[in-house]
Amino acid sequence: MAVKILAVDDSASMRQMVSFTLKGAGYDVEEAADGQQALTKAKSGKFNLVISDVNMPVMDGIALIKELRALADYKFTPILMLTTESTSDKKQEGKSAGATGWIVKPFNPDQLLATVKKVVG
């Protein structure tokens, strides 16, 4: 069964890029535009990996990670944050919320794939 990935970002172009890259590598990708949408999608189907932006309207990435970790299905699921170098304190905040790791923006498709491969094999 294909690996299912949930890509969360409020920026449509980033979402497109992430989703296009991952789909090209054979992953099954669904998109969400904010934490709330992502949470709803996550509850309705099991994802093997969640990649989420931090700064988003409605529900931000940190809150999303906390919510996901509280769900039995996502207790151990890898969750990667998309961060920028200027928000290094956000990494720590994300980690304590339960994030597995991070991908630093800007990144190119190869970096994205390499990181994803690391966590989902």
Instruction: Specify whether the CB–CB gap between 28 and 116 falls below 8 A.
Output: no
Nearer to another protein, 45 or 106 (CB): 106
108 near another protein (CB under 8 A): yes
Question: Please, what is the minimum distance in Å from the beta carbon of residue 79 to another protein?
Answer: 6
Q: Which residues of 17-51 are buried (b: 16+ CB within 10 A; e: fewer)?
A: bbbebbeeeebebbbbbbbbbbbebbeeeebbbbb
User: Where do contacts with another protein occur on this chain (CB under 8 A)?
Assistant: 10-14, 16-17, 20-21, 24-25, 53, 55-57, 69, 75-79, 82, 84-88, 95, 98-102, 105-110, 113, 118-119, 121
